[in-house]
């Protein structure tokens, strides 16, 4: 355990090989190492194991590749701890911030908005406007277009679907859960 966490003799190739052939515990230890490279973050996050992703998201000295960020984001959709850990990173790409914004609590959204200079009302207003527009337009087709646009923009989530249902927007709800 201590060797994996602290050894300076382990090369990137050694760590990638260990991530590939080792256990989830090995990948957790590798993810916890300071200053791991993007190729190592790719290797440890490849299986998208929640404990590994959680540790990797919290490791602020790790360099995350685009794929690693996307795996962290995907895991954050179902795990608020991972979402919070990811939101505290200083190196989030803008599009990851926007997508993460839709998957975290209001407190974390406000923190993201202040750290990444996103107007807090911006994404909420866009989502609300799009939902209202779909209600006014021709029902099923408009709802389908709305959901497709939201999915493409990364703003479609379960919270939106539940809100649509609670507001009686059944066509939008149907399309949201079908997507």
Q: What is the pLDDT of residues 75-131, one digit of tens each?
A: 998 888 999 999 999 999 988 887 887 777 778 877 887 787 665 555 555 455 445
CB atoms within 10 A of CB 172: 27
First to last CA, the chain: 43
Q: Which residue in this structure is represented by tokens 């079908």?
A: 178
Q: In the chain, what are the helix, strand and coil shares in percent, each to the nearest 5?
A: 70, 0, 30
Task: Look at the chain and count its residues.
Answer: 179
Q: What token pair was written down for 105?
A: 């609590």
pLDDT of 73 strictly over 60: yes
Higher pLDDT, 153 or 127: 153
pLDDT of 48 strictly over 70: yes
**Which residues make Cβ contacts (< 8 Å) with residue 171, sequence separation at least 6?**
134, 139, 140, 143
The predicted pLDDT at position 148 comes to 76
Higher pLDDT, 105 or 28: 28
DSSP letters for 86-123: HHT-S---HHHHHHHHTTS-HHHHHHHHHHTT--HHHH
């Amino acid at each position: 355990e201590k060797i994996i966490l602290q050894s300076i003799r382990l090369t990137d190739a050694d760590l990638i090989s260990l991530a590939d052939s080792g256990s989830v515990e090995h990948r957790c230890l590798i993810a916890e190492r300071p200053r791991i490279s993007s190729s190592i973050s790719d290797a440890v996050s490849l299986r998208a194991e929640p404990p590994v992703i959680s540790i990797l998201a919290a490791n602020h000295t790790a360099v995350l590749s685009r794929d690693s960020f996307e795996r962290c984001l995907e895991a954050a959709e179902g795990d608020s701890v991972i979402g919070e850990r990811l939101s505290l990173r200083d190196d989030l790409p803008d599009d990851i911030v926007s997508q993460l914004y839709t998957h975290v609590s209001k407190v974390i959204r406000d923190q993201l908005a202040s750290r990444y200079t996103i107007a807090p009302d911006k994404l909420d207003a866009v989502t609300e406007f799009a939902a209202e527009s779909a209600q006014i337009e021709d029902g099923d087709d408009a709802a389908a277009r709305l959901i497709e646009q939201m999915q493409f923009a990364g703003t479609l989530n379960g919270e939106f679907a539940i809100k649509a249902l609670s507001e009686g927007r059944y066509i939008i709800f149907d399309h949201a859960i079908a997507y």
